[in-house]
A and B are shown apart, each in its own frame.
Chain A
Amino acid sequence: MTRIPIVEHIMEANTTLAMELNERLNAANVFAVNIMASPGAGKTTFIKSTISLLKDTKRIGYIDGDIATTIDSEKVAELGIPVVQINTGGGCHLDSNMISPALDKLPLNDLDLIIIENVGNLICPANFNLGTHLNILLASIPEGDDKPYKYPPMYRGVDVLVLNKIDLLPISQSCYNSLPMNFLHN
């Protein structure tokens, strides 16, 4: 028996592709964000509100990842911006290989911002860098304050944490004062 040393990160292929996507976005002067959350956290509503606030000053494109249906992309398309739907057909996350053809379908040179809505899932998307400039996690109050402990890779991999549905705080049993905030910046 012979042992061959390798020492290679298992996600190397995705990371390489993500870097290429990032270069492509930079060349077109487009800022991109990857929005992740659990199902029902309010990703689409949050994105629609953000687009409504920004669309008069920024040219925005939207990529939606869902296992099935075009429900979300149809909602966002109503705002009059270019949208691309990726149906993963059972896949629990988006990866860089899916984003590349989606970018082909967007008028990259006529955009300032691309918002990618990932598949609703707190586990798998954390493993797949999409070449975006920011990874944003939307956490909604009803999910409970134990989620950073239950899903550490997701909470650790994000640049921005948005707390959604804060109007439910008064009736929530959770305590958000003790979230391990520094944990998020590693």
Chain B
Amino acid sequence: MHELSITENLLEITLRHAQVADVKKVTQLNLVMGQMASIVDDSVQFYWDIIAKGTIAQDAILKFERIPATFHCLDCDTKFTLTNQADFSCPHCQSTCVQVIGGDEFRLDSIDVE
């Protein structure tokens, strides 16, 4: 449900940049989303198709690049990628003193325009 607010923000950012660059049409949005960002891609595209209608960004394709969640173990210094969603412990020493160092991304990287 929060995807609607997110899509509205996305449209605002897109149109603002498209206006500055004085383009005719926005054809694609290149989004970078971390695994830890709770966003449903299809849902954002669904709202986009409705709210972007009538703007120069109508029919734009939303392309999502997903970044895996990566952790840093504070006990043994191991860096690891999350493989099991229900286990954040270090694969090397099993410590749960871990920090997330990647996978939080939630940004619009660029737009493709004509």
B residues within 8 A CB of A111?
none
Establish whether residues B1 and A12, one from each chain, have CB atoms under 8 Å apart when the complex forms: no
Tell whether, in the assembled complex, residue B17 and residue A14 are in contact, meaning their CB atoms are under 8 Å apart.
no
Is B111 a contact partner of A12 (Cβ separation < 8 A)?
no
Whether the Cβ atoms of A9 and B107 lie closer than 8 Å is yes
Is B5 located at the chain interface by the 8 A CB criterion?
Answer: yes
Sorting the interface of chain B by its residue count into under 10, 10 to 19, 20 to 34 or 35 or more gives: 35 or more
Contact pick for A127, options B18, B31, B38, CB 8 Å? B38
**B36 x A182 contact (CB < 8 A):** no
With beta carbons under 8 angstroms apart, the residue of B2, B13, B30, B88 that contacts A124 is: B2
Summed over the interface, the residue pairs from A and B with CB atoms below 8 Å come to a total of 111
Task: Name the prevailing secondary structure of the B interface residues.
Answer: mixed
Given A13-B9, A180-B98, are A127 and B2 also a contact pair (CB < 8 Å)?
Answer: yes
Least distance between A174 CB and chain B CB atoms (Å): 13
B37 within 8 A of A: yes
Assess the A156–B100 pair: CB atoms within 8 A: yes
**Chain B residues whose C-beta falls within 8 Å of the C-beta of A179 in the assembled complex:** 96
B112 touches A10 (CB 8 A): no
Other A-B pairs, 16, CB within 8 Å; known A8-B107, A149-B88: A2-B112, A2-B114, A3-B30, A3-B110, A7-B107, A7-B110, A9-B107, A10-B13, A92-B1, A93-B2, A123-B2, A127-B38, A148-B88, A151-B38, A182-B97, A182-B99
Interface residues, chain A, with chain B CB atoms under 8 Å away: 1-14, 90-93, 95, 123-124, 126-128, 146, 148-149, 151-153, 156, 178-183, 185-186
In the A-B complex, the 3 residue pairs with the smallest Cβ-Cβ separation, listed nearest first, are A124-B2, A92-B1, A182-B97
